Structure 1
Amino acid sequence: MTLPTPLTGVVPPVCTPLTPDREVDVPSLIRLVDHLVNGGVDGLFVLGSSSEAAYLTDRHRRLVVETVTAHVGGSVPVLAGAIDMTTPRVLDHVEYVTAAGADAIVVTAPFYTRTHPAEIARHYRLIAARSSVPVFAYDLPVAVHTKLDPELVLELAAEGVLAGLKDSSGDLGGFRAVVTGARARPDITGFSVLTGSELFVDSALALGAAGAVPGLANVDPEGYVRLDRLCRAGDGERARAEQERLCALYGMVGAGDPARMGGSSSALGAFKAALFLRGVIACAATAEPQVPLSEEEVERVGKHLAAAGLL
């Protein structure tokens, strides 16, 4: 389908259900997509951080994007991560995700290699020149160890290189600079600034963000869609109450014991445990080498679901 310009609303970064032997669980993935689309989301983002893209083989990545695009059949736009260390490797991903029917690609700055801002700009320009679909920048400094400079993002937006930004930097000042800068510049049109935060969607929308890409929306898509619509309707009091309910639900990401696992294992394990408990996916396995949640930790996730009215 033609990507809306700007893309707005709730675009969950779709989890990748796995079987116990760590293959992509296609039937569960289809159920998850139906769960999200039926929840009213405005688009889907596959092969991002919550999709465990960094852990998936190229074969698994290809299967995910082909499954999702074929299943939705253009009913909602599908953005696909083309995330890798350097430009040539990203371009390999761009080729197969666009062939599969992705409506846009999402790309981080290069990583592992040490890059200058001029090289980051060149990276995005080269990718945009070779991509048949719009390019979204993914600002994820915790993973790629480079913070995208707001002025660079705005420059690339004005050139038409970037169609949008998914901001998972946690830098509210930088986020505001992109939102306000894009609004103030007549040479930037149709540019989507999306927050990757679960916790301040209401604040981001109040600043002028186009939408949100929250991992927790896998678990409660209706909640984030409701929050988005309340914000757009100007119902601040009810929006704040919904955001606070979702913040409490997000507490599930701390279910894992930090003495034996990292934050990724705990958060992604919690999302998948919640989806399993809600009957959406068949298995809560996360990709290796992440540490699985224990039965007791899964019970903690269940308590968060129950408190949020989701069990």
Structure 2
Amino acid sequence: MTKKRIAGMVWSATPTPLTQDRRVDVPSVHRLVEHHVKMGVTGLMLAGTCGEGPWLSDRDRETMVRTSAAAAGRRLRIAAQVTDNSAVRTLANIEQVAAWGAEIAVVAQPYFFLNGTADRQLAFYREIARHSPLPVGFYDRGEAGSYVMPETHLAEFLTEPNIVMVKDSSQSPAHRDAFLAARKLRPALVLLDGDEFDCVSYLQAGYDGLLLGGGIFNASLAHRIIRAVRTGDTAGAARLQARMNDLMLRVYGGSGIECWMTGLKELLVQMGIFSTNANLLDYPLTAECRRQIADAVSGADGLGYRADLFEPASANQGTPR
């Protein structure tokens, strides 16, 4: 798989639409795919943290991956999260998602990992990279994961030729430097920032693009941030980042991210993409969060967020307020 094929500007770590009885909602998956295509997204990462992958049943993960891959065709790249507690289990998951239509297997820190020395972490990831039938993406969750790999071992792991992509959600300058150093040695390695509240600094450092949990609704703003950075409009990029952060906080329930998953799915219901805001994590939905979502979708907020939600970046050129 070539860098050109996967290194597009914006990827989406998409949420998974569920019915009220918490099964994958197939019609909503089709709408999800079409919305991402309309917004110029390059690829979908399925069953990640935002996709509730660690909590979905195997049957629902299969439905999500198979339906998304079939609906996308060649229009979107399809990556699937395969993280598990051992290399053996992770490799079995990769065999599954490959059969379901995924093109890239994404692995993060295991959920339960005993004797997690740096050497054992390296051996774990290396075994996966060397035996995976699919190209592998590394999802670095930083301190949010069970163990953090030291930069020395991280650099060694990234020399593996089957590691094609990094989703960097570590919020670690040291890891960012390690990823950039690895890319100098392996120019085909694709670096995607996963910290959607700080896209600008990663793009300025040289990352190839963004892989965002909010990509299903903030892709237009994300594209405009990338364009501003790449044309040297630092002030414009900062204004766009602030605008995107404000929109996300309205959707997620404020600075405490109180409504995160439920707010995100409620937004998608009001946008006509999802049928329900049902999720497996049971985040609350406050009246204030619901109101701010409704105002953004309808345009009643007077801030122009409706255009950011529905119009591709090519059609949304206005100066951020």
TM-score, L = length of structure 1: 0.88
User: Which stretches in structure 1 are left out of the alignment for 5+ residues?
Assistant: none
Structural RMSD (CA) = 2.3
| Contact 1:46–1:81, Cα closer than 8 Å, also in 2 | yes
Q: 1:273 aligns with which of 249, 262, 266?
A: 266
Partner of 1:178: 179
Deviates more, 1:206-215 or 1:245-254: 245-254
TM-superposed CA distance for 1:94, in Å, is 0.4
Q: What amino acid maps onto 1:310 in structure 2?
A: R
SS of equivalent residue, structure 1 residue 146 = coil
CA deviations on 1:219-247 (whole Å, 9 max, x unpaired) are 12222122223322333333222212101
Residue in structure 2 matched with residue 24 of structure 1 by the alignment: 24
Residue pair 2:11, 2:42 contacting (<8 A) in 1 also: yes
Tell me which residue corresponds to 2:118: 117
Q: Give the structure 1 partner of residue 208 of structure 2.
A: 210
User: 2:254 & 2:59 partners in 1: Cα distance?
Assistant: 29
Q: Structure 1 residues 256 and 291, CA, compared in 2 at 3 Å: closer, same or farther?
A: farther
Within-5 A mapping of 1:10-159: 10-114=10-114, 115-159=116-160
Provide closer, same or farther for how the CA distance between residues 103 and 2 of structure 1 changes in structure 2, counting only shifts above 3 A. farther
- Give the Å deviation of 1:294: 4.1
Counterpart amino acid of residue 283 in structure 2: V
1:54-103 superposed Cα distances (whole Å, 9 cap, x missing partner): 21111111111111111111222111111222222212210111112211
Instruction: Give, as a single letter, the amino acid of the residue that structure 2 aligns with 1:176.
Output: D
- Contact 1:218–1:271 (CA under 8 A) maintained in structure 2: no
Query: Following the alignment from structure 1 to structure 2, what is the Cα–Cα distance between the partners of residues 70 and 3?
Result: 23
Deviation at 1:105, TM superposition (A): 0.9
Q: 1:254: how far off?
A: 4.6
**Shift, 1:107, TM fit:** 0.1
Unaligned runs of 5+ in 2: 308-321
The farther-off stretch of 81-90 and 248-257 is 248-257
Following the alignment from structure 1 to structure 2, what is the Cα–Cα distance between the partners of residues 296 and 66? 36
Q: Distance in 2 between matches of 1:127 and 1:160?
A: 12
The answer to which of 110-119 and 231-240 deviates more is 231-240
Contact 1:202 1:227 in 2 (8 A): yes
CA distance in structure 2 between the partners assigned to 1:249 and 1:120 by the alignment: 37
SS of alignment partner, residue 12 of structure 2: coil
CA contact (8 A) 1:138 1:166 kept: yes
